[in-house]
Amino acid sequence: MAHKTITDHLAQYAAYHRNFKNILTHLVGIPMIVLALITLLSRPDFVISGLSISPANILVIVAVIFYVRLDIPLGLLMALLLWICLNVGSAIAQLSTGEWLMWGIGLFVVGWVFQFIGHYFEGRKPAFVDDIMGLAIGPLFVVAEVVFMLGLRKPLKQEIDRRCS
């Protein structure tokens, strides 16, 4: 079986996200969910040979490898954004356990509320219901949508739109 390209993944995900209100809710909700997961996975934190390792670090490394293999420029942008989330999540994880959980769970719940409101506007179930990879592609979709809104990567945007029409 051939590996899916970035166009394949984004077009499949975009098919569930044609309503602009849904896309806008995802621009808010998905970053909240990503930050929540990284925050919650920033504990426990182990120091091995002077290097701080947490489940969040491992998740980010695996995600960046996946994204860079799909598309180097977008993958590097994802790496930068995930590194920022990792720093924010690590800082939140330094708070008391109650505050860490409040931020992590709060961001997670509110982020999913945004997602489901968006899918109400869309009138369609979330992409991950049919393909669990939608959970990994969602953050990339949000970044790609912002890149497209800035007028960049026009051939990629046009091919995704062509496949979804």
pLDDT digits 0-9 by tens, 82-133: 999 999 999 999 999 999 999 999 999 999 999 999 988 888 877 777 777 8
* 29/20 Cα distance (integer angstroms): 14
Cβ contact 15:143 at 8 Å: no
* 46/54 Cα distance (integer angstroms): 6
Question: How confident is the model over 53-80, as pLDDT tens digits?
Answer: 999 999 999 999 999 999 999 999 999 9
Supply the pTM of this predicted model.
0.93
Give the contacts of 18 (CB within 8 A, at least 6 positions apart).
122, 164
Two structure tokens written together for 165: 């029409």
